[in-house]
Amino acid sequence: MRRVANPPNPFESQHRELLEPAPPAKLVVFEDASREILSRNDSPDLPFRWSVNPYRGCFHGCAYCYARPSHEYWGFGAGTDFDTKIIVKEEAPQLLRRAFGKPSWQGELIVFSGNTDCYQPLEASYGLTRACLEVCAEYRNPVGVITKGALVRRDLDVLTSLRREAWVQVYVSIPFADDDTARLVEPQAPSPAKRFETMQALADAGIPTGISIAPIIPGLNDEDIPALLERAREAGAKTAVYSLLRLSGSVEPVFLERMKAAFPDRFGKIVNRLRETREGQLTEGAFFKRHQGSGTYWYMVEQLFEVAKRKAGFDAGDASGIPQTFRRPEGAQTSLFD
């Protein structure tokens, strides 16, 4: 793990400069005392309203992670603190069960990893994602999962139950075709090869699976799109999505610092290409614009994706929607005051 390096926290009133080299970053785990587990999303350009995130921060350490600024709300940094100071919501399954018991809950889709990866390495020890999925299966609540983690294969039994009794879909995030390049940008995440193996295992088990090529980093991985789509289709993926890199808030200095160190010969190209797709800027925060670019270069990327998608054999997708399957088990009680 790299040495501690965090951009200034905008929520902190003081910022200290070290007089000597920063110490190596070490993993530290904190307990979370939240009394709610369902996070409400009010963004009009996202296809879900509710998410569950059993962990804050992510050991995968992806340089581009859009969730980094959320760590600053808790007094941590968006750089190595986000990668190594992980907050664990140990009461997540109980809180989810309580939420499902409220009369106001009508069984909407819940997305796991709306913020940080629910199958990051700590999940192997804590099992919070699995326990939450078991609650969803018990209540037949539809579930979507987005992950880079190969550990999702451990929970094939629960996912199969969800597919049979409710609705489930798993997107495996694979933005790089080359294992070595991925390791430089996503240092602690499973290799792309391992993620494709995971996708194959999910598909073989009958779990509806897709690939998320996100983020697309112009000048670095846009040329990987055809190979990624072809490999995903061969591994059983039924759907494919993509989005352009976003560098909101403190993500920008973290990303630029790490890209300059990892790709000194390509750094200028990456920055210039990104500006081409963002009308001269490095990022865009407006709804319906933040996930896509503009201009000639971005149009070429869009066309590359669509042509490669058709060539790989992806269909137009399932427009049937998510069924209403939620039901409370017999004997489940609700509170008069919920």
Q: State the residue range of the domain holding 145.
A: 28-312
Residue 234, domain member (yes or no): yes
CA 171 to chain centre: 9
Q: What percent of the chain has pLDDT over 70?
A: 93
pLDDT band at residue 15 using 50, 70 and 90 as cut-offs: low
Q: Residue 18 falls within a domain, yes or no? A: no
271 belongs to a structural domain: yes
Q: What is the DSSP-derived secondary structure letter of residue 236?
A: T
φ and ψ at 132, to 5 degrees? -70, -40
- Residue 10: band (very low, low, confident or very high) from pLDDT cuts 50, 70, 90: confident
Q: For the domain that residue 243 is a member of, what is the CATH number?
A: 3.20.20.70
Q: Give a yes or no: residue 180 inside a domain.
A: yes
**331 found inside a domain:** no
Question: Is 220 inside any structural domain?
Answer: yes
Residue 17 falls inside a structural domain: no
Q: Are 324 and 141 in contact (CB under 8 A)?
A: no
Q: Which two tokens stand for residue 124?
A: 């192997």
For the chain, how many structural domains are there in total?
1
Evaluate whether residue 71 is within a structural domain: yes
Report CA 44 to chain centroid distance, whole Å.
18
Instruction: Measure the CA–CA gap between 209 and 196, rounded to whole angstroms.
Output: 11
Please give the mean pLDDT across all residues of the chain. Answer: 92
Residue 320's pLDDT is 67
* pLDDT > 70? residue 182: yes
Residue type, 85: K
199/336 Cα distance (integer angstroms): 44
Q: How far is CA 226 from CA 88, 164, 213, 245, 272, in A?
A: 37, 33, 11, 18, 23
Predicted confidence at residue 255, as pLDDT, reads 98
> Which 3-state string (H, E, C) describes 3-35?
ECCCCCCCCCCCCCCCCCCCCECCCEEEECCCC
If one counts every other C-beta atom within 10 angstroms of the C-beta of residue 183, the result is: 15
